[in-house]
Amino acid sequence: QVQLVQSGAEVKKPGASVKVSCKASGYTFTSYGISWVRQAPGQGLEWMGWISAYNGNTNYAQKLQGRVTMTTDTSTSTAYMELRSLRSDDTAVYYCARLRLGGYDSSDYWGQGTLVTVSS
């Protein structure tokens, strides 16, 4: 069965960086993309970007350009999302999801979420 298992909760200080991992299993990793979505406490969903696990192509949300990097390690079927220069408003639950690319793109399987808290 398809599973996405994310790394554990993180607490970071403002200005620091965080790297969240997302290990996929149960499907051919390079046949899909991985999207990243975050949700601040009590707020809605915010799309952060996606990466193709096939060729590494990325597409980031404009507001995060320059602070976010998404990568994959096909040898371990793991995706990573690194966010730099953290601010308090980056406090959120971060989700990875399998992304069906190449047509009507949609995220059909999701990780359990990783809480990132940014606090001095």
Place of tokens 């996929």: 24
Q: Give the phi and the psi of residue 30 in degrees, each rounded to 5.
A: -80, 0
Q: Which is nearer to other proteins, 15 or 25 (CB)?
A: 25
Binding string, residues 57-76; x marks residues near other proteins by CB under 8 A: --xxxx--------------
**Helix ranges, the chain (H):** none
Q: Are 53 and 66 in contact (CB under 8 A)?
A: no
* Interface with other proteins, residue 89, by CB under 8 A: no
Q: Which spans of this chain sit near other proteins (rule: CB under 8 A)?
A: 35, 37, 44-47, 49-50, 59-62, 95, 97, 100, 103-108, 110-113
